Structure 1
C-alpha cells in the first residue's frame, strides 16, 4: 500500500521502521530537513520537507494516490487539519491522527464525520488503560485478550525457587495441575517458539495461553498470591497519570499522585476527583516515598518524564517489597537491559500506539480473512494473531498432528463458539471457529492459510 506518514518523531520513526519492513510504499513528511534526511537514508522511503497540513505539501507527497495517511506530528491541531486536508484532496483515503489532548476526545468523537478520521490514537490514554488492566488483574507482567475476552496470553517471569525451574514443557501440566500452553519463551532477550522438550530456567519470561479460569488456577498452584490493589502510588502527573488516577479513583482505589511541578499540581487538583491525594514533591526522594507509605502500598507506577528516573524509583519500590511495580519507558530499544533490571511490568506508550496503527494497516491489506486482532508480545519479537476459519481455509477437520506448519509458528488456541480449547495433536478446527496463532517476529501473516507449509 502507499502510505504517507506526517511527522518523523518517535512515533513516525517507529512506524517507518515497522511498515517499511512489511514492504509498504512510504512517503515521510516533516518540517525538519535534517531529521527527514536521516530517515530517508536509513530506510527505503521518499521524503517531503514542509508543513504536512499544507495542500501544496500533501500534493507533493502524492496524496491523491495514497491509501492511508498517518498524522503523528507533535501538534494535535496540525494532525487534525492534515487529515481533513488529505481527505478533501482524496476522499477515498484512510486517515489516522494522533490526538493527545484529553479536551479533544469527546469533541472528535461527536464530530468524527467533520474531521474525516478513520482512527484516532492517544498513546497516553492507551498506556493508562493498559496499566489500569494490570493493576485490576495483578499477578502477570502483561496481559492480552482474544476470543471476546475468553482467552488471554499473559507474561510471567520465572523467579528463583519457582516450581517451574528446570521443568520440561512436556511435563508442565503435571507441575501446574491445569491446562495451559507456553507459546513463547524469552531468554536473555532472545525469543523462541518452544517444543515440548524445551526446559524452563530461572529468569525466563513465559508467554502463556489459557482461559481466564485456568490462569487464576495457575497463579494459585504456583503459590503466587494476588489481591485487588487498594492503595496505589503514582509517580508523575502527566497525561497518563491524569487518566490512570481518574479511572482508579472511580473503582474505589486509594490513589496518591506525586508531581514535582507545582503549577501542574494545582491544575490536576482542579481536574481530578477529590479522592485522589496530590503531593507536590520529588518522587525520587527516598524520604518522601517512605513518609507516604511506600512499604504499605499495593502498587507503584513510575511515569515521570525520564526513563532513568522511572527505573531508579521502580528498583527502589522492588526493594521495599511492593507487590506490583509498573514502569513507563519512552524507548524499548534496550529490552535486554531493562529485562535484566527486573522493573516489573514495562509499558511504552509509543509502542502501544504504533502497534494499534500497524493492526489497522494489516486489516486494510486484506479485509477478507484478515486477522481479527493482533498483539505484539515478547517486546515485539513475536506476534499473536486471531483468525476466523472460513470455507477457504486449508485442513478443516484434520487433526493438528497431521498438519505441517511453517517454522516458528504455533496454534495456541481454538475457539469453537463459546467453548475454548488449548489444542493438542488430536484437536481440529471447523469453519466459523476462531484460531489464535503465535509466530516469531518478522513473518508476514495476512490470512490463516499463510501459516501452512
Structure 2
C-alpha cells in the first residue's frame, strides 16, 4: 500500500506503555502533536506529566474515544498495546471510520500474519510490525558484524557506521579530523561527534577532544581495518549459546542457515519447549536445564562457546546471566531487555557487550515506516539526538541530478555515504552527483529531521 512522508502534525498512539511512550517522546521532539489513548489511568497520568502530549483515558475499540482523540484529522494511528487483538480491531475501526488515516499495528502472533507477514489489505491496516521479528533481526545483524554494539550495518549497502570513543590517552587526541583520516589511512566520512551530551556535525578542522564519540561511515572492509587500527578485532562468533527458548530465539534461529544452527546450543528448563525446538531445529543442541543451577555452565561446557545470548522473558535473569558468562570466560555476551530499559545504560558497567531492547527496536521500525516510502533504514544514536537515514533517490527528489556541492542543506545534515544504482560504494565528495536509484546515508540532528525529510522525499 502506498505511503508518503509525514504531512500532518497529529499522530494518535494507542497504548501508553513502553513502546507508546518511547515513540511519543521521539515524535514530540520532532514537534508532532501526539495523542495517547490507554485504559490505564496511571499510564495516562504518567504520560501527560512526562510528555507534552494529550492523554485520553479509554478503550481503543471505542469509536467515541477515537473521535475524542481526533482521529478524523490525524496523519497516522499506531496501535502498540500488549494485545494483538485490540491492535488489529482498533486499526480496523480507524481504517473503516476515518478515511486517509494511515494505520500501523504491532502484532506478535503469526496466527494473524503468517510467516510471510501482513496479508495485503487485512482489516485495512497499512503496516504491521512484529516486535519479536525486529529484535531477532537486530540480534542477527549484531552477530554478523562481530558483536559490536558500536558498529551499525545498513539494509541495502556495504557501508557501516562505527562509533569511536576517544580515551584520555588516545593517539587521536588534540588533532583535527582531517589529520585523523591521515593517521588511520582509511577512506571515511565523519557523520557526527557526540561531545559533553550534545551532538553536532563537524568540519575537517574540528579538533578531537577526550571523551568524544566520533561517528564515522566507511565501507565494510575499511571499518574492519579501522577496528584493527584502534586495537579491536572484528570476529564473528562460531559457537553460540542461547539461554531461553523464547519466540525471539525461534525467530533468530529461523533466520540462520542449518550450517550456522549446527554450532548453536539452546538452554531451557521447560521440557515441552525443549522438545518443540528439537523437532523444529534438528541441527541445534537442546539442553534441558535451569540456567540458575550453580554448575550448569561448567557441566555443559558453556565456556567453550564464543557468545552467550540471554533471551528469557525475565530481564533481571538475562542481565545476570550475560554478566556472569563474561566472568567465567565466555568471550562475548548479549542480554535481552523487554521491561526495563534502564538495563541498557547499565550494560557497560556489567561487562555485557550488547543489550537488546525490544522497545527500541520496535520504535525504530515504526519510525522507519512513518518516515516515508524511500527510507529503507533508520538508526537513532545518542539517545535520539542523531538519526542516520538511508534514502533512495527518486526522480522527484530535490537532490536528484545535482552535485553534493549544489545541495544547500544549511549545515543541518551531512551525506555520509552513497551506494549507486549499480551497487558501487562511494565515500562522497562535493563533486559526486546524486542519480535516480542511488541510496544515500544522511546524518541529521533531531531538530533538522523535518527539513531533511522534505529535502530527500
The one-character-per-residue Cα deviations of 1:134-159 (angstroms, maximum 9, x if unpaired) are: 21231632544448313222345678
Once the two structures are superposed, the pairs formed by residues 250-269 of structure 1 within 5 Å of their partners are 250-253=258-261, 254-260=263-269, 262=270, 265-266=273-274, 268-269=276-277
SS in 2 for 1:444: helix
TM-score by length of 1: 0.83
Distance of 1:265 and 1:204 partners within structure 2: 46
Distance of 2:139 and 2:245 partners within structure 1: 15
Is 1:349 the equivalent of 2:358? Answer: yes
Note if contact 1:265-1:278 (Cα within 8 Å) is conserved in structure 2: no
Q: Which residue does 1:126 correspond to in 2?
A: 134
Note if contact 1:183-1:208 (Cα within 8 Å) is conserved in structure 2: yes
Q: Which residue does 1:55 correspond to in 2?
A: 63
Q: Which residue does 1:90 correspond to in 2?
A: 98
Distance of 1:167 and 1:312 partners within structure 2: 40
CA separation of 1:214/1:293 partners in 2, compared to 1, >3 Å: closer, same or farther? same
Farther-moved stretch of structure 1 (212-221 vs 294-303): 212-221
Q: Which residue does 1:378 correspond to in 2?
A: 382
Once the two structures are superposed, the pairs formed by residues 66-85 of structure 1 within 5 Å of their partners are 66-85=74-93
Return the structure number with greater relative CO, CA threshold 8 A, min gap 6.
Answer: 2
Once the two structures are superposed, the pairs formed by residues 169-188 of structure 1 within 5 Å of their partners are 169-186=177-194
SS in 2 for 1:385: strand
The one-character-per-residue Cα deviations of 1:203-222 (angstroms, maximum 9, x if unpaired) are: 76543311123223334455
Farther-moved stretch of structure 1 (122-131 vs 208-217): 208-217
Q: Which residue does 2:207 correspond to in 1?
A: 198
Deviation of 1:72 after TM superposition, in Å, equals 1.1
Note if contact 1:335-1:379 (Cα within 8 Å) is conserved in structure 2: no
Q: Which residue does 1:4 correspond to in 2?
A: 12
Is 1:361 the equivalent of 2:366? Answer: no
Structure 1 segments unaligned to the other structure (5+ residues): none
Q: Which residue does 1:245 correspond to in 2?
A: 253
Note if contact 1:177-1:221 (Cα within 8 Å) is conserved in structure 2: no
CA separation of 1:160/1:295 partners in 2, compared to 1, >3 Å: closer, same or farther? farther
Farther-moved stretch of structure 1 (231-240 vs 101-110): 101-110
SS in 2 for 1:178: coil
Distance of 1:189 and 1:342 partners within structure 2: 23
Note if contact 2:103-2:125 (Cα within 8 Å) is conserved in structure 1: yes
Deviation of 1:230 after TM superposition, in Å, equals 2.2
Note if contact 1:371-1:446 (Cα within 8 Å) is conserved in structure 2: no
